[in-house]
Structure 1
Amino acid sequence: MTRVTLLAGGVGGAKMAEGLAALPDVTLTVIGNIADDDEFHGLWVSPDIDTLTYSLAGLIDRSQGWGVADEGHRALEVLFRLGQDCWMSLGDRDFGLHIWRTMRRGRGDRPSLIAQDAARALGVGPRIVLPTDDRVQTRVRADAGWLSFQEYFVREKCAPEIRELRFDGIDSARPTPEALAAITGADLLVLAPSNPLVSIAPILGINGITEAFRAAKAPKLAVSPFIAGKVVKGPADRMMAALGMRADALGVAERYAGLIDLLVIDAQDADLRDPITALGMRAECRPILMRDQADKQRLAGELLELAQVTA
């Protein structure tokens, strides 16, 4: 069995996790992003961890890429009638998980244990690991001031021009032993095709995570979230451009230079292979668009093949 550790956030990360989880000879651990977490209606919500959990449990709403399939919103309707601000869409069954998580956190249970118990109860096979049990939250500065990530992403629909990013709490956050063990014990380390700025950076920014990643002897691969200068889903292209970075596969390579051995890019970005290689990593072209489970599993299998060459 090949022990694969995937660092992931968002829909692209969940799709990559599904592909790797489907391979028969892989033991998968996913270190998920927790910097999108926030409180709504008195409940602690973990959007990226829940997307991973629902995806790997086969419960995800495929049409939107998040939330539970065949979901109702009666609880949200009541909250709206009671005068609550309901721009964050939370389904009825989704509320059940948030209530349970908040109850557990209120008792003082470790967030890592809560996430593992939720995954187990919903039938998830791979391990879902948190990078830290401490609170780390993404903040976005626009012209009107600072916003939480969910305010920017959901309420404002990514419309404001980004001027600055920060991760509140990251300087004092401690890595979980599970995350460090998953990195040091891996046979293959993969950075998912997730937003490098707000999905991967908050994981690598936890004290000790990047150091452990660099020191690990396993091959280190990343999959670009860009195809021909556009992201499949999410605001990574607009965010990177607004912050003065290249918004393409080469921009991703620049972010990960010195950290990975190989970047998997789409065939439409073949012209970027040489400048990516000049940064000190290999670049390999593969079809990276994951439209269905067959695409996810094919790409995951190709990552394992590339890892053997890299090793």
Structure 2
Amino acid sequence: MSVSPRIVVLAGGVGGSRFVLGVRGALRSRGIGDTASALTVVVNTGDDLWLSGVRLQPDVDSLTYALAGVNDAERGWGRQGDSERVNEELQAWGAGWPWFTLGDLDLGTHLARTGWLRDGLTPTEVIERMSRRWPLGARLLPMTDTEVDTVVVLHDGTRLHFQEWWTRHRAALAPTRFENPGISEAAPAPGVVEAIAQAEAVLLAPSNPVVSIGPILDVTGVREALRATAAPVVGVSPIIGGRVVRGMADVCLTAIGVETSAAAVAGLYGSRGDAGLLDAWLIAEEDEALAGEVAGFGIRPVVTPLWMTDPARSAALAESALIAAGL
């Protein structure tokens, strides 16, 4: 491929980071040197929060660190080789959350971000400035410049920030719904709709469909842009063999009445031919028996290995997604 394609990925979290690394790797294998011009990632900011006076953007940082090669791959979050002296001092003062660790290097990122935000930069401008430090090989865009943190509503009416429910309680408290206050008034960040409109392929990463991809889709104008683009929209199942690959997406799916299966998540996104989003849906070899059910939604099923256990497998999965998009 001599001309760089225009690829847009919607992503969030660890699974999204691995997939985006795979897309970058697949593009490089195709001879695309300037992957930053070819690859745009629209990142979930629904699980952002203020803590100890600084603004945290967990999914933005996971993607940034992963693309920069400085992420802690073993833990799945934060910086490689980080220390926690400042976090210990914060906890000694009774500040922050004792169950939510901020590494020292990670905290440096949050301080820089907060300072730029207080200077008047938008989240889009902050991410662009962060991207100058390392050659990421991709352009990162937040889904919106508006703060739309995720609130988890429990059956007794208790409302928790998503990070408290996810990190402190490990999703053990059964939710009745998830809310993103203010999202109905939020506009897509500058460049998001344009990138989707100009794309040659749009890929939905195997991220949590409820709290990672869901908030991106709920920003006014994003679903419409996906339905209107001439590019094929290809999704990758986050479910393999009826189980979530990572995290607690099964709990989230149950809360909204969706079965934890590759076919059910395809049905949640829906077919573009039926006012949904997908043209094709990648499912694992373990779920080949569900291909007919996916096709019944009007979505073309593609059976392929989905495990991203190393960079080569992640790139192979991304290559399958690009081929499914006709590239």
TM range (shorter): over 0.9
Taking the aligned partners of 1:38 and 1:149, their CA distance within structure 2 comes to: 9
What residue number does 1:79 align with? Answer: 90
SS at match of 1:29: strand
What residue number does 2:144 align with? Answer: 132
Structure 1 residue runs of 5 or longer lacking an equivalent are none
Give the partner amino acid of 2:147: R
How big is each residue's C-alpha offset from its partner over 1:104-140, in whole Å with a ceiling of 9 and x where there is no partner?
Answer: 1111111101011112213312000112111111111
TM-score normalised to structure 2 length: 0.92
Structure 2 residue runs of 5 or longer lacking an equivalent are 271-275
What residue number does 1:248 align with? Answer: 261
Taking the aligned partners of 1:92 and 1:114, their CA distance within structure 2 comes to: 20
Give the partner amino acid of 2:17: A
1:208-247 equivalent positions in 2, closer than 5 A: 208-247=221-260
What residue number does 1:284 align with? Answer: 302
* Equivalent in 21, 24, 33 of residue 44 of structure 2: 33
SS at match of 1:163: strand
Task: Number of aligned residue pairs: give it.
Answer: 309
Deviation at 1:303, TM superposition (A): 1.3
CA RMSD between the two structures: 1.1
TM-score normalised to structure 1 length: 0.97
* Equivalent in 103, 109, 114 of residue 91 of structure 1: 103
SS at match of 2:39: strand
Deviation at 1:241, TM superposition (A): 1.9
Runs of 4+ in structure 1 over 4 Å off:
none
SS at match of 2:164: helix
Indicate the larger mover: 174-183 or 198-207: 174-183
What residue number does 2:273 align with? Answer: none
Indicate the larger mover: 238-247 or 249-258: 238-247
Identical residues among aligned pairs (%): 38
Taking the aligned partners of 2:221 and 2:325, their CA distance within structure 1 comes to: 24
1:1-311 equivalent positions in 2, closer than 5 A: 1-22=4-25, 23-24=27-28, 25=32, 27-84=38-95, 85-144=97-156, 145-257=158-270, 258-308=276-326
Question: Is residue 162–residue 243 contact of structure 1 (8 Å, CA) maintained in 2?
Answer: no
Deviation at 1:242, TM superposition (A): 3.3
Deviation at 1:255, TM superposition (A): 1.1
How big is each residue's C-alpha offset from its partner over 1:284-311, in whole Å with a ceiling of 9 and x where there is no partner?
Answer: 11000100101111111111112118xx
Taking the aligned partners of 1:81 and 1:136, their CA distance within structure 2 comes to: 30
Taking the aligned partners of 1:137 and 1:122, their CA distance within structure 2 comes to: 27
Taking the aligned partners of 2:134 and 2:214, their CA distance within structure 1 comes to: 28
How big is each residue's C-alpha offset from its partner over 1:161-211, in whole Å with a ceiling of 9 and x where there is no partner?
Answer: 111111111011011221111111111000000011000110011111110
SS at match of 2:82: coil
